[in-house]
Structure 1
Amino acid sequence: MTETNESLWRAPFAAEPLDATVTIPGSKSLSNRYLVLAAMGTKPVTLIGLLRSRDTELMMGALEALGVSCVADADDETTVVVTPPENGVFRGDSSVFCGLAGTVMRFVPALALYADGPVHFDGDKQAYQRPMGPLLEGLRQLGARIDFEGEPGHLPFTLIPPEQAVGGSVSIDSSGSSQFISGLLLGAPKLRGGLRLTHTGEHLPSLPHIRMTMADLGAAGADVRMDGRTWTVAHGDVQLPQQVVVEPDLSNAAPFLGAALIAGGTVRVPNWPEHTTQPGGLLPEYLEHMGATITIEEMPNGARTLGVTSNGVIHGLGDFDLSAAGEIAPSLAALLVFADAPTSLTGIGHLRGHETNRLEALVTEIRRVGGDADELADGIAIRPVASELLHGAVMETYADHRMATFAAMLGLRIRDIDVVNVETTRKTIPDFVGLWSSMLG
């Protein structure tokens, strides 16, 4: 591995099969949900194994702006004590910086309903392109006033909370992101009349993430139910247990486990949960369909280590509905560039509204290295090409961490892949380059 200049990183080429164990940091999705729920409670909560990345730092910074205390253990920064405001009222006349973190810009505004003054929200310039309208419309229906400072339905804006957050019925179209639903659900228990939330659109992306939100609310004592496309949350206290352990981020395991298929050999990930609400929990099943051998080793401490072994032959998936785990689409796309048959990944049209338009970005970068891909109305089609047609290139990442890991995966089998701004991986993996290099020995 060499850096060609300050902005490019040469992705390592795998000269031999892998034999590696990679410890994956905590789940971003769970970390930021637990941080919000801890802030909603009345007693301090200790989060163990919390992901420390840009997105979680932004979430802690947002909560601290609202008067929440987030203090890391002096000896282990992944152990963080979260203490909510003494009176349960969040600090108004404050400013929240969201960066490019979807969970921050879409989860924290609901907390501002309970602030004692206006709360200003801003973020990275690229975040101005990410849709916020349905969430903000839901908050408006709950009595908030939203003053936009740029394009309506987008950052930046100021939320002026109602005199009293009374709750009631809300209807929004959450077709663009499940985070609109999750954001409203997370803030709902403090509404005096609870919440009845209805999704009006035809398509609902990433239902597993909504189920994750519901499970986390339930763990905090909330009464939340789903009936078709309607959710009800009863008014009541929420309080996470005194200590909560964060699972490893299973979607962030995808590039590493997928590397075993591209390079051949075996990659193991410790602490794989037996049961999980993370969409990444579906990854072993998908990799098995693609030709990998999956093993589970029970460790003496009760933990489980997942192993993925491959001879380097990757099978295509045909017409494959990925709606249950769209966030791992870039990792699967990298594998499918080297597959033995075409694949159409569908059910992931909402990826156009992530950190970048991921479908367009994936097609562009696959073609950049000589591959064959097209956008579909609701996904992406990838067709195999002869290996000699694939070639090195400077690959863009679009400030999107999953596009950076996608490029690194391609570099395992395509020489001379240079990656622009690999540091964008710090969004969810603090030391991706170090972990990736260690995996290759």
Structure 2
Amino acid sequence: MSETKHDNLWAAPTPGGPLDATVTIPGSKSLSNRYLILAALGSKPVTLVGLLRSRDTELMMGALRALGVSCEVDPKTDTTVTVTPPAGGLFRGNVDVYCGLAGTVMRFVPGLALFADDAVRFDGDEQAYARPMKPVLDGLEQLGATIEYHGEEGFLPFTVTPPKTLPSADAPAKVSIDSSGSSQFISGLLLVGSRLPGGLELAHTGERTPSLPHIRMTVADVNGAGGHAEADEDARVWRVAHGSLQLSDRVVVEPDLSNAAPFLGAALIAGGRVRVPHWPVETTQPGGLLPGYLESMGARVSFPEEDGVRYCEVVSDGHVHGLGDFDLTAAGEIAPSLAAILVFADAPTNMIGIGHLRGHETNRLAALVAEITRIGGEASELPDGIAITPVPRERLHGAVMETYADHRMATFAAMIGLAVPGVNIVDVQTTRKTLPNFVGMWNELLSR
């Protein structure tokens, strides 16, 4: 992995004893950006309560505003946003959309360009030029759009020109793509399928479907907006019927359960108790699998209720069990947090089913191996994951840890710093992508 210059360093704090903290997690990024897209596809204003305010959601709102959608932030609480779609449902064309490094923006918003009155140009951060885009753009081409690449084919920057006429209403438009690199390619097309005159039938041609819970989340959200989406997961085919979408007038966003992983996982590394409030009873978020994973590593997990608020509580004595072969296909986004815990386990773990993480904000598998090795640990890449072989804690040492402009690599490094003094993190502010106040939250975690 390439390294950046050693500037903007943050010294990761080490606790003086077992933790005892309650941490409130901001709204889910995955749900926030799906709700923003679905609100834009409706016909009436929608107020989103508890919306995550981070770089990714700011980029999404900026993209929608460029397309003629109003996103009005309540001045009394910046987590309440009212979204008003454009009159007539026609999006504004001949505009530029800046995606930053947000996968949900670069892969969800191009579908809206099918319904724009002119071409829409897409660009992003330099690091975003390495993130694959071709499957979703191939899908849009199959629906009649024209794609012009301004750099390497299949990557940002590019222009989407909407078709002069949309596919026939006589039958569902059929699209076949290989979405092995990211579930977002499938989700991006499913979100706009209802707008197609005959609906959409989407086939995934790859052998494996990464992050299937994220696709299930999209299906559930489309149906929650009044659409009719269904999945044949065995055949790897999804169908969305033609129809109008409209979210409820007021939608409350769940806390981001994947962003809870560094905080709840901290209890296993440092020992003690950490609680996260407003934990849902049921959820479509992959992070909902986190409590079970932590329990398998030796934590005691419970869900107490106090004054009508349901908590996820994790208690640990700091002893971590290795997991052997550990299939993380269903929740790859929490792999960096789990990897940080497993560095301190009592036995090796092979985290598998996460080969698609090579195409995230950075190549997360290579990054995890590089950073574990940098502190004196042992890890190696597998064809579909990474192998972590724990070493005695006394063999681990402080280092300047890279983040690769990846928010989850920054939180991974902070977790390592809980048990390894002398960890300094390059550009910890990359966490603003999903946790705008991560440093403050982390310091509070350790101060209680």
Given the two structures, how large is their TM-score scaled by the length of structure 2?
0.97
| Conserved 8 A contact 2:336-2:409 | yes
Q: In structure 2, what is the Cα distance between the partners aligned to 1:88 and 1:54?
A: 26
Which residue of structure 2 aligns with residue 223 of structure 1?
Answer: 228
| Match in the other structure for 2:31 | 30
CA contact (8 A) 2:258 2:287 kept: yes
User: Which amino acid is the alignment partner of residue 98 of structure 2?
Assistant: F
Deviation at 1:297, TM superposition (A): 1.1
Secondary structure in structure 2 of the residue aligned to 1:440: helix
Q: State, as a whole percentage, how many aligned pairs show the same letter.
A: 69
Which runs of no fewer than 5 residues in structure 2 stay unpaired?
1-5
Taking the aligned partners of 1:100 and 1:129, their CA distance within structure 2 comes to: 10
Matches within 5 A, 1:113-152: 113-152=114-153
Secondary structure, in 3 states, of the residue corresponding to 2:87? coil
**Inter-partner Cα distance in structure 2 for 1:112 and 1:75:** 33
User: Counterpart of 1:278?
Assistant: 285
Please give the alpha-carbon distance, in whole angstroms, between the structure 1 residues aligned to 2:293 and 2:7.
Answer: 36
| Structure 1: distance between partners of 2:249 and 2:259 | 27
Aligned residues: 436
Please say which of residues 345-354 and 228-237 is displaced more in the overlay: 228-237
Tell me how far apart the structure 1 counterparts of residues 165 and 105 of structure 2 sit (CA, whole Å).
23
> What is the deviation of 1:6?
5.6
Residue 46 of structure 1 aligns with which residue? 47
The residue aligned with 1:241 is 248
Matches within 5 A, 1:251-330: 251-301=258-308, 303-330=309-336
Amino acid at match of 1:305: Y
How far apart, in 2, do the equivalents of 1:391 and 1:15 lie? 18
Amino acid paired to 1:322 = L
Contact 2:48/2:252 (8 A) holds in 1: yes
| 1:178 aligned to which of 180, 183, 190 | 183
**Is 2:366 the partner of 1:365?**
no
Structure 1 residues 309-342: Cα deviation after superposition (integer angstroms, max 9, x where no partner): 0000000011010000000000000001100000
Residue-by-residue CA offset, 1:235-272 (whole Å, 9 max, x unaligned)? 10000000000000000000000000000000000000
| Alpha-carbon separation, structure 2, partners of 1:138 and 1:62 | 20
Q: Distance in 1 between matches of 2:328 and 2:243?
A: 36
Partner residue in 1 for 2:3: none
Which residue number in structure 1 is paired with residue 62 of structure 2? 61
| Cα distance in 2 for residues equivalent to 1:347 and 1:414 | 28
Once the 2 structures are TM-superposed, how far is the Cα of residue 86 of structure 1 from its aligned partner?
A: 1.0
After TM superposition, the structure 1 stretch with the greater mean CA deviation from structure 2, 392-401 or 162-171, is 162-171
Superposed counterparts of 1:74-223, under 5 Å: 74-166=75-167, 168-223=173-228
Q: In structure 2, how many angstroms separate the alpha carbons of the residues matched to 1:137 and 1:275?
A: 35
Q: Distance in 2 between matches of 1:92 and 1:310?
A: 54
For the 8 Å contact 2:258–2:286, the answer to whether it is kept is yes
CA deviations 1:261-309 (Å, max 9, x no partner) are 00000000000000000000000000000000011111223x3011000
Of 418, 421, 425 in structure 2, the residue corresponding to residue 415 of structure 1 is: 421
Match of 2:388 among 382, 386, 389: 382
Give the residue type in structure 2 aligned to 1:112.
A
CA drift of 1:371 comes to 0.2
> For residue 101 of structure 2, what is the amino acid of its counterpart?
L
3-state DSSP class of the match of 2:88? coil
- Quick check: 2:7–2:426 contact (8 Å CA) kept in 1? no
Normalising by structure 1, we get a TM-score of: 0.98
Q: Alignment partner of 1:87: what SS? A: helix
Please give the secondary structure, in 1, of the residue aligned with 2:215: helix
Give the secondary structure class of the aligned counterpart of 2:421.
coil
Alignment RMSD, CA only?
Answer: 0.8
- CA deviations over 1:383-427 (Å, ceiling 9, x no partner): 110111100000000000000000000000000000000000000
Rounded Cα–Cα distance in structure 1 between residues aligned with 2:359 and 2:192: 23
> C-alpha distance in 2, partners of 1:408/1:211?
31
Q: Per-residue deviation at 1:43?
A: 0.3
Q: Given that residues 301 and 313 in structure 2 are in contact (C-alpha distance below 8 angstroms), is that contact kept between their aligned partners in structure 1?
A: yes
Alpha-carbon deviation of 1:165? 2.2
Answer with 8-17 or 167-176: which moved more.
167-176
Letter in 1 for 2:304: E
Give the Cα–Cα distance (whole angstroms) in 2 for the partners of residues 125 and 413 of structure 1: 34
**Distance in 2 between residues matched to 1:434 and 1:165, nearest whole Å:** 49
3-state SS in 1 of match to 2:266? helix
Equivalent of residue 399 in structure 2, options 387, 393, 413: 393
1:356 and 1:384 mapped to 2: Cα distance?
A: 24
CA distance in 1, matches of 2:126, 2:246: 35
C-alpha separation in 2, matches of 1:71 and 1:316: 47
Structure-1 residue corresponding to 2:433: 427
Instruction: State the shift of 1:196 in Å.
Output: 0.6
CA distance in 1, matches of 2:224, 2:208: 28
C-alpha contact (below 8 Å) 2:38/2:225 kept by paired residues? yes
Q: 2:130 & 2:389 partners in 1: Cα distance?
A: 30
Whole-Å separation in 2 of the counterparts to 1:145 and 1:136: 9
Q: Distance in 1 between matches of 2:158 and 2:123?
A: 7
Q: Which runs of 4+ in 1 moved over 4 A?
A: none
Distance 1:127 1:32 in 2: 18
3-state secondary structure, aligned to 2:208: coil
Deviation of 1:14 after TM superposition, in Å, equals 1.5
